[in-house]
Structure 1
């Protein structure tokens, strides 16, 4: 491995006039103000959630509810303002903050303006837990998990103490005291679970403004949703079991579970709700999900019935606790539905001998995304219902109106791509952080396993295009470590990227090294695939689909245009306030409809109506404004002749990458600098890279780098 000399950034902020300096100061002050307000809202929300377990917190909620009962807010309006509105407020405040923080030039200025070139620790890129049931967990994630655990312990202790006091003061005998204690405990468990369920919705809004602001990739958001789903269903199951045991001891089980009260808690919808939840939970467990993905996929859509029966079971008050997250999810889901109605033109299909299919899709020129984004793809010839996520493998700034993805043929769904000459595609996305954080590191380590090379093809292409176009980019050195099973997979790199054609003489600007490990071959194959030879493309089949009708991808994407998404969320929020207020003033207040299943259904109707009517109006205008952005072009098709990039530094056969040795060498060679490590591959590869990053960071000397771990591994 060559010796690299640490260099500092060559990005120089241009001289600023007095006017520009003043504008920059105002923008910085506005960003500081918005961040401060958002932190205050978030912390206040968390504090109130903790206080809600106390008698003092309950007294505040009851007092506020009494004051709003006869107003246009209604009784659940108080709960909405206390528990759900902070989430929506944070989403709305994200809009101006994203608008003034999203430019790459601004990122560079923030990176270089303080004059401090020392490497810095970051909680979200420092792996703390490497081997465990949760996989690789960063320091920031550990803090979030500990906050959840603290809330669970805090609430359980307080509720148990209050329930014991109530049972002791009731004067019941031992048997009835036990029954009463279980009933009270079950109600308390439900109260805890409903707050966990409120957080459950936030990570699965794929185009969420909050996820974009925090820079949380879709892959990580899925993990948080899985964690919260297991926790929530465990709590809800415990809630149901405690009631079942208590009623069984009391001899009233069958009588109670058949009750559907018009006021208060309706038990029969709760039984149905728990049955639906258990079915969703059982099919979402990892062994079932991996072995029977279609079963998992279809049963997971029962969440619609889950929400409806929660409203029927618990009424409007408990639904108001989770309404903020549900509302943001509804907004995201309706936006995805509108975008996916477009039939996207498939420009080309390329089949590689390593059982990988490359699809090139039409996209509008103004579609914004990051090289580490992903799209959800539906192929109607394969399935009319299933959507599958794939990493983007092309740069967003390559000046071509197309987007490519690489698909590994594993099961029945992907196999149909090879055997169908007609491909009809629909797309949702792209999703993911819009911040190309990889351009902020002078040193990059990309660790890929198999088809995990796909997002790194986009990253490499993006960096080369930035260098050629003079766009902001701090990257000076890149080490790509790629582990493949067979030599035939090397075609993915040579066919997808022609480094010199993208950026001639790039080697004078960028030190690029590629280390390849072929694990299932003990020696190089015969020419022309042997090391030092060329890559033969004769086995690649290039097919233009028979059905190439359609248009470019829709620009209606949650992560594509912050201004339009902000208008969409704002319009729907205002619409909800209008519909909810009118409903209370002219219907619910005159008829005293405050509790029970019926007001809960009305609240769900208000949420859905505001999204469909007011949000839909904005989407119609957005669609009309972006309808003329597409000008059909045909991308450059890579030559079928041999190519030799001349980049591969080392080839190893019959062995896996020695991650420990590679990272130790980098720690000695690259000096005192921030090193961005991005991994995409099997879970074991994630763990190995994270373990070495943690080890080197903990034992770091002053002259050594800090390794920042980032994972882009899908695990659905």
Structure 2
């Protein structure tokens, strides 16, 4: 019988082999086709981007100005209206790039699933863009740690500003030389022309301002820059924009004062042209935002910073009325993308999310485990924004996710909250001061935005990674370790061979955070495939504590697991960075088409027939079309998207009701901590020597260095990475610097 089975198998084997060969051949053809389409999309996006940048640079020239005005005459009588040329030239490109990024991201995700991206990375040849973005150039300056790619961007803006100022100044002097005016009139006229010029430069800076602040933007996913990093660009651009707008206002005020018409001009609200009072109101709102966003105010009076930042609504509305529809069309593209993102975040954050369990540590740290649908995927090193209505109805605070989307039953997400400010202290007190019976009756729920994070899992694309954490900064690295474990266990793409985790804490009590680590992290399969080395530095203790104190105290850790019946409200995936791209793409395209339909209808049936001037009224109607397109057309897509998502959430709820979630028993926690204590190098009374740690890496290998901790630790690690990379030889490691700090 066995011989017959063996013969049958032997006869079938060539057929199976042929089928397998055909499958591989088809897969290679499919992969080649996807790569070809992807390269076409990349080329198209670069062509559009470079053309856009060149037009912005050349716009100050008279020849380009005349060309834009000539194009405006051709669009004036069409549905595009008088603003059509400005919109097509300056806002159109950013929207076209966003459209092209949709199929690009879909293909990238498919390649990721078929290992193509990882096979490319496995060659050890990282692209120039990756090298530039992970090489720190400036470390201790006013901008913090700045990579080579960011330096290029800063230089680009500086060159543009110098070029624009020079061209406008040269043109203004030419006009003044040709005019026969008195000296005082010339000075006043020169100040007004200079004010107009710097205001126009500010408009172009504003065209970029709202792009990095769109947390779940397709553009941020395209360039793989998470919101925590992109917000720095918003800060830099915000300062630059307000400098030019402030100069714009001051120059006009000085000129009007010289002419004796200051009050008359400030209060003027013309039907056509520039509404000056609207500009004054908008500038006042912008100045309040600017003053309250400087680091001292933002750090010590966060609520003042947070609340006044919402004046951006007033700023944008009065800007549209001040500059009119033509100049507002220059910034319309980025504002549309921001409005789409803001409305999507608003829809997601309306849902309450159930707290599955809570763990209070003696060190003032609270671990919350939240309910999520099984199909919601996100990369490690993600973060979420949290609002607790009982503490504040308006405040949202970011926290790193400490779990992997592959953990356990895939329906939980956890975060650590350290009690540092008033808001976080109140949350910790709410859980730690109440008994389990009281919390059982409360059915705690919170509002959540996110998760936000990288589009690609960079921690899986290096042969070696060094994770450097300070204090509660270990939380996101627990997610990284868990994610790596699940990838290796399930045979998913992962290049990692060696992990070094360096953790600096103040006291031994902080080690209690390890009790929240899944015991599966020390599974034998993990240690066989990836070498994990753990170094702990306890900086404020000179010697180990007594043996009786090394075990976890049950009284020091307080855990609550809430009833299964209360876990019906799950985290929405509307703005999740690691989730699908199809629905966000439909949302973007539908809303943009809707905007064009509304503007075209407005121009065709109202603006053009009635000769409505290009003043404040036209500007506010244009802005209203933007808002209506997001609410009507985008809202319809979100409704369908929510129904589609609800089906999967309901399936997760049904599975959820049959599953149990409990915090690890105390004995398991103690065993895990004892295991880690035995296998970990713990040093007392010293800080980690970053230079020695990095120099210990031998061989020509790409090493990912990820830091999560205070700014001093981040700067130190960046400085050492820069130093070693600059004086390395061909046989030494290349260090790629990443930071996980949220620059709020």
Pick the TM interval, shorter chain.
over 0.9
CA 1:477–1:538: 2 relative to 1, 3 Å: farther
Matched, 1:691 2:701: no
Q: TM-score, normalised by structure 1?
A: 0.94
CA contact (8 A) 1:535 1:643 kept: no
Q: 1:551 aligns with which of 565, 569, 572?
A: 569
How far did residue 434 of structure 1 move? 2.3
**Who is 1:361 aligned against?**
370
CA 1:101–1:703: 2 relative to 1, 3 Å: same
Q: 1:602 aligns with which of 621, 630, 633?
A: 621
Taking the TM superposition and a 5 Å limit, the aligned residue runs for 1:16-415 are 17-103=24-110, 105=112, 108-113=115-120, 116-117=123-124, 122-398=131-407, 399-415=409-425
Q: 1:541 aligns with which of 526, 547, 558?
A: 558
1-side partners of 2:259 and 2:562: how far apart?
67
CA contact (8 A) 2:470 2:504 kept: yes
**Who is 1:429 aligned against?**
450
How far did residue 86 of structure 1 move? 0.8
How far did residue 111 of structure 1 move? 4.0
1-side partners of 2:111 and 2:713: how far apart?
31
CA contact (8 A) 1:347 1:361 kept: yes
2-side partners of 1:412 and 1:452: how far apart?
20
Matched, 1:495 2:516: yes
CA contact (8 A) 1:119 1:705 kept: no
Which secondary structure state, in structure 1, belongs to the residue aligned with residue 82 of structure 2? helix
CA contact (8 A) 2:561 2:663 kept: no
CA offsets, 1:206-230, max 9 Å, x none?
1111101111022111101111111
2-side partners of 1:519 and 1:86: how far apart?
52
CA offsets, 1:639-696, max 9 Å, x none?
2221235344311222211111111222xx2x11100011111111111111111111
CA contact (8 A) 1:108 1:440 kept: no
Q: 1:674 aligns with which of 687, 702, 717?
A: 702
Which of 86-95 and 626-635 deviates more? 626-635
**Who is 1:4 aligned against?**
none
CA contact (8 A) 2:80 2:599 kept: yes
Larger radius of gyration: 2
**Who is 1:525 aligned against?**
545
CA contact (8 A) 1:491 1:537 kept: no
1-side partners of 2:373 and 2:510: how far apart?
30
How far did residue 110 of structure 1 move? 3.4
CA 1:337–1:118: 2 relative to 1, 3 Å: closer
In structure 1, runs of 5+ residues without a counterpart are 1-13
**Who is 1:512 aligned against?**
532
Which secondary structure state, in structure 2, belongs to the residue aligned with residue 136 of structure 1? strand
CA offsets, 1:117-170, max 9 Å, x none?
467761100111111000111010011111000100000000000011111211
Q: TM-score, normalised by structure 2?
A: 0.91
CA contact (8 A) 1:350 1:542 kept: yes
How far did residue 537 of structure 1 move? 4.8
Which of 441-450 and 537-546 deviates more? 537-546
Taking the TM superposition and a 5 Å limit, the aligned residue runs for 1:640-651 are 640-641=666-667, 642-644=670-672, 646-647=675-676, 648-651=679-682
CA offsets, 1:471-492, max 9 Å, x none?
1111110001111112111111
CA contact (8 A) 2:401 2:479 kept: yes
CA 1:500–1:299: 2 relative to 1, 3 Å: closer
**Who is 1:561 aligned against?**
580
Which of 428-437 and 280-289 deviates more? 428-437
**Who is 1:11 aligned against?**
none
**Who is 2:7 aligned against?**
none
1-side partners of 2:585 and 2:179: how far apart?
53
2-side partners of 1:109 and 1:43: how far apart?
28
In structure 2, runs of 5+ residues without a counterpart are 1-19, 431-438
Which secondary structure state, in structure 1, belongs to the residue aligned with residue 415 of structure 2? strand
**Who is 1:708 aligned against?**
736
**Who is 1:612 aligned against?**
631
How far did residue 75 of structure 1 move? 0.6
**Who is 1:5 aligned against?**
none
How far did residue 636 of structure 1 move? 4.0
1-side partners of 2:521 and 2:138: how far apart?
41
1-side partners of 2:689 and 2:705: how far apart?
15
1-side partners of 2:388 and 2:562: how far apart?
13
Aligned length: 696
How far did residue 543 of structure 1 move? 2.2
2-side partners of 1:212 and 1:653: how far apart?
42
Which secondary structure state, in structure 1, belongs to the residue aligned with residue 370 of structure 2? strand
CA 1:653–1:537: 2 relative to 1, 3 Å: farther
Q: 1:578 aligns with which of 589, 597, 605?
A: 597
How far did residue 555 of structure 1 move? 2.3
Which of 554-563 and 278-287 deviates more? 554-563
2-side partners of 1:468 and 1:416: how far apart?
40
How far did residue 529 of structure 1 move? 4.6
CA contact (8 A) 1:101 1:107 kept: no
CA 1:537–1:672: 2 relative to 1, 3 Å: farther
**Who is 1:7 aligned against?**
none
CA 1:681–1:674: 2 relative to 1, 3 Å: same
Larger relative helix fraction: 2
CA offsets, 1:231-254, max 9 Å, x none?
111111111111111111121111
CA 1:366–1:116: 2 relative to 1, 3 Å: closer
